[in-house]
Chain A
Amino acid sequence: MLFHLLARDLKLKYKRTALGYLWSLLNPILQLVLLGTVFSHVVRWQIKDYTLFLFSGLLVWNFFSTALISGAYAYLENEHFIRKIYLPKLMFPLSKVLFRLVDFLFSLLALSMLGWVLGYSLRPTMIWLPPAVLLLFFFVLGLSVVAAVLTAYFRDVQYLIQVGLQMLYFASPILYSIDIMPVHLQWVLRANPLCAFLLLFQEIIYVGQVPTLQQWGFAAGMTLLSMATGCLVLLYTEHKLVFRL
């Protein structure tokens, strides 16, 4: 069932577009070109290999934000099923996050290949990507469950999420590196839960270093926290949710 829910979203996404799945590739490429041009030639951040830097953070961000937004609609969108038959409520946010994960992995892989063709050398540290992706996945899943339940209870949340994401985008070291901030202000960025993951991916893809144990630990802590919250929320609302749809 999970598979068919996932297949539905994948099929619907690019249905009746001429380029189909290529869009999940073209979209980040266009973003990279646009942002890369603006921030390395117009704004002139002093960051070496800016496009590569951007790539390492932007994909993580795209996955995070799209999964959270579509996760938020998980229950509203499947209302017709939920109101008809009992189904484990985790299924719906899970299928949404998996759906975005497919996109994420696809663009990560394809863009790495493209980078390689264009002459960027692939970091050997990229073998550390799977555990990083796994942590990120569960982190996003926990948050998506919370977002989906909250949206079902309070429809206002869907708009709050969008505004919140926009704020988070600029408060995260995606376009700029964390080193740009004065050292005594860096804690502001580090307090942002997503930052742990951005640093993880930047370390692996851009810097080419194995993340320190502290970095892994921080990301894993965030994942645990997010999953624990998600599980609690689901335990508490699993049976009541249907009354709120």
Chain B
Amino acid sequence: MSTAKIDLEDVSVRFRRYNMRSHGIKEAAMRLFTKPSWQDKQEKVSEFWGLRGVNLSLREGDRLGIIGHNGAGKSTLLKIISRVYPPTMGKLTIEGRVAPLIEIGAGFSPELSGRENIYLSGTILGIRTKVLTQRLDSITSFSELGEFIDTPVKYYSSGMALRLAFTLATEIIPDILILDELYAGGDVSFIEKGNRRLDEFVHSSKILILVAHQMEYIQRFCNRVVVMERGQIIGEGKPHDVVPMYMAHMRGEKGVFGAELPA
């Protein structure tokens, strides 16, 4: 049994915003031939920090909920953990297979059938072909696709694509499951089914990381919560403590999470 753990020590990520026009070859060539001082003036690239000095340590059994405004750095944090973005500064240690379910269903190739997408996306998630073949029936039935499994995904309704994506990511319980904006667009009966599956997952004691705007999910699945704002973690604790504080913060009450951040 492999162990799962995540450690972030003082992790920061810097993004460069590229002005569409400054993206080209010309600028890169200019940069090669000009002095740095001149470059600074010419550089149309602006920087901002997606994450600033984030410390986070997760062990098996941790079910972390991440809450915060849009643009607070929640998804950036998920992408650091799924190793999509390298940290600009700080140290990141991850053990275990990570299955990201970020931007649900967007990873399918529209022209390929559901079955073909299961193989492609499944192997990309790190599941072996042989295992996928064994689980094909169970994936088809859980996602309620039936005969549509051989239809190109572009003809799927958004609900069907979502069911398939959710089922695939949760079929083989990964060491670390990452869920962003759970079930946007799923129907009620599937949401219930998915919740039951997540309950099972919660009991299998690996790591779950969940980003959600609905506090009911945070309270149902998580045993830890962090609140993010402007790329920093401003609050942390148990859901039943932190969620009410966050709601108060959202209503505009000052000082809920200690000193307000400088703008």
- Which residues of A are interface residues toward B (Cβ below 8 A)? 1, 3-5, 7-8, 11-12, 15, 80-87, 153-157, 239-240, 242-243
Contacts and interface: CB of A to CB of B under 8 A. Distances in A.
B111 A15 contact: yes
B73 interface: no
Contacts of A86: 82-84
B102 A84 contact: yes
Nearest 5 CB-CB pairings of A with B: A86-B83, A1-B123, A239-B86, A4-B120, A154-B25
Nearest to A87: B124
A240 B84 CA distance: 10
Contacts, number: 66
Contacts of A3: 123, 129
B107 interface: yes
Contacts of A83: 79, 84
A85 B124 contact: yes
Contact of B112 (A12, A82, A84, A85): A12
B100 interface: yes
Interface string B10-22: 0000011000000
A7 B124 CA distance: 14
A85 B116 contact: no
A15 B109 CA distance: 13
A82 B106 CA distance: 12
Contacts of A155: 23-24
A243 B120 contact: no
Contacts of A5: 120
A242 B85 CA distance: 7
Contacts of A82: 84
A81 B116 CA distance: 15
B106 A80 contact: yes
A113 B85 CA distance: 50
B111 A12 contact: yes
B215 interface: no
Given A87-B124, A239-B86, A81 B129 contact: no
B119 interface: yes
Contacts of B107: 80-81, 84
A209 B98 CA distance: 54
Interface string B27-50: 010000000000000000000000
27 contacts: A1-B120, A1-B123, A1-B124, A3-B123, A3-B129, A4-B123, A4-B129, A7-B120, A8-B109, A8-B112, A8-B116, A8-B120, A11-B116, A12-B111, A12-B112, A81-B107, A83-B84, A84-B82, A85-B125, A87-B124, A154-B23, A155-B23, A155-B24, A156-B25, A242-B84, A242-B85, A243-B15
